[in-house]
Amino acid sequence: MADQYTFADPTTLYADIDTKAISQDGSGLDSEMRDRADLGEQTYRGTGRLEGRKALVTGGDSGIGAATAIAFAREGADVAISYLPEEESDAQRIVALIEEAGRKAVALPGDITDRETSRTAIDETVAQLGGIDILVANAGRQQYVNEIADLTDESFDETFKTNVYPLFWMVKDAVPHMPPGSTIIATSSIQAYSPSSHLVDYASTKATQNAMCKALAQQLAPKGIRVNVVAPGPIWTPLQTAGGQPTDALPDFGEQTPLGRAGQPAELAPAYVFLASPESSYVVGETLNVNGGMPTP
């Protein structure tokens, strides 16, 4: 594939990437995935769709956020990425790719479940990029638990603190800096409306994100700020290999979709570019499903 515009059969695309039964500790590293996820490093070709824009992408070190950060930079945006400090090595690789695209990169390590760290991520983006007009709230936590009896109060709390609170906090802190034309995009999930039995807490946070963004979209539209959502299906990322799914389920990961395979982060990036750029000017409160064909409401 030369670039994302290359004509190809979506059922056989990425047939060379094998979703393997690997298990990662902590929140997982892209660099330790075998096979590696495709972040579009070799293929994403920009056409100036985000010239001069200033973006913050949370969870921009790996997976969907990293593919989005690379695409944004190649479309002409300066990009700040926020991520957990233990994922510094992954983050530095993405920083280098943003800079190779000729854009400014800002690295923001820190745990955004902390209110002050979340606030600082917006403040630092504004200070170092000279403003913010794209916010991608994409950082997430997914830990599967089969039985409700084993889903601890702490884990339940951590999932909401990661997936819901920073979305609320960052929108609240970013909006005063955002000029009309700015765009906010959250990453929710097919889990929001088709929840798995072992993802009770996670699926609930994704439904919450969808509802929050539908409400915010209406509230912020009169200010000229568009809020939309991308809802991915099964995508090959460290989130899945670091406790997001049972390890023995990974070799079949994504095979239940009509396309019969897992998606790659590179296939998500164009959805974020579309929703971030002015070409989607009349798209507000939309959920763009990128899920290999699974039916959605």
Minimum CB distance to ligand NAD, residue 225 (Å): 21
Stretch that binds ligand NAD, among 18-26, 46-54, 106-114, 278-286 (CB under 6 A): 106-114
Q: Which is nearer to ligand NAD, 172 or 223 (CB)?
A: 172
Q: Which is nearer to Mg ion, 59 or 76 (CB)?
A: 59
Residues 6 or more apart from 141 whose CB is under 8 A from it?
A: 27, 158, 159, 162, 163, 202
- CA dist 79 and 104 (Å) reads 6
Give φ, ψ of 105 to 5 degrees.
Answer: -120, 140
With CB under 5 A as the contact rule, the residue among 87, 133, 173, 201 that binds Mg ion is: 87
Tokens representing residue 79 in the block: 């990009």
Count residues binding ligand NAD (CB under 6 A): 31
- CA dist 30 and 33 (Å) reads 5
Residue 202 appears among annotated catalytic residues: yes
Positions in 48-67 near ligand NAD (CB under 6 A): 58-59, 61-65
Burial of 198 (0-12, 13-18, 19+ CB in 10 A): middle
Q: 14, 202, 272, 282: which one is catalytic?
A: 202
- CA dist 70 and 256 (Å) reads 29
Residues 6 or more apart from 157 whose CB is under 8 A from it?
A: none
**Partner whose binding site includes residue 113, from Mg ion, ligand NAD, none (CB under 5 to 8 Å by kind):** ligand NAD
189 binds ligand NAD (CB under 6 A): yes
264 binds ligand NAD (CB under 6 A): no
Q: Which is nearer to Mg ion, 13 or 57 (CB)?
A: 57
The SS3 call for residue 200 is helix
- CA dist 65 and 67 (Å) reads 6
The DSSP bridge partners found for residue 263 are: 235
Give start and end residues of each alpha helix (H) in 175-268.
200-220, 238-239
Q: Which is nearer to Mg ion, 87 or 267 (CB)?
A: 87
40 binds ligand NAD (CB under 6 A): no
Positions in 226-245 near ligand NAD (CB under 6 A): 232, 234-235, 237-240
Interface map 56-75 toward Mg ion (x if CB under 5 A):
-----xx-------------
Closest CA to 211 of 297, 282, 117, 115: 297
Closest CA to 126 of 76, 56, 183: 56
Q: Which is nearer to ligand NAD, 61 or 75 (CB)?
A: 61
Stretch that binds ligand NAD, among 13-21, 82-90, 98-106, 277-285 (CB under 6 A): 82-90
**Footprint of Mg ion (CB under 5 A):** 61-62, 87
Catalytic annotation, residues: 202
**Footprint of ligand NAD (CB under 6 A):** 27-28, 58-59, 61-65, 82-84, 87, 111-113, 138-142, 162, 187, 189, 232, 234-235, 237-240
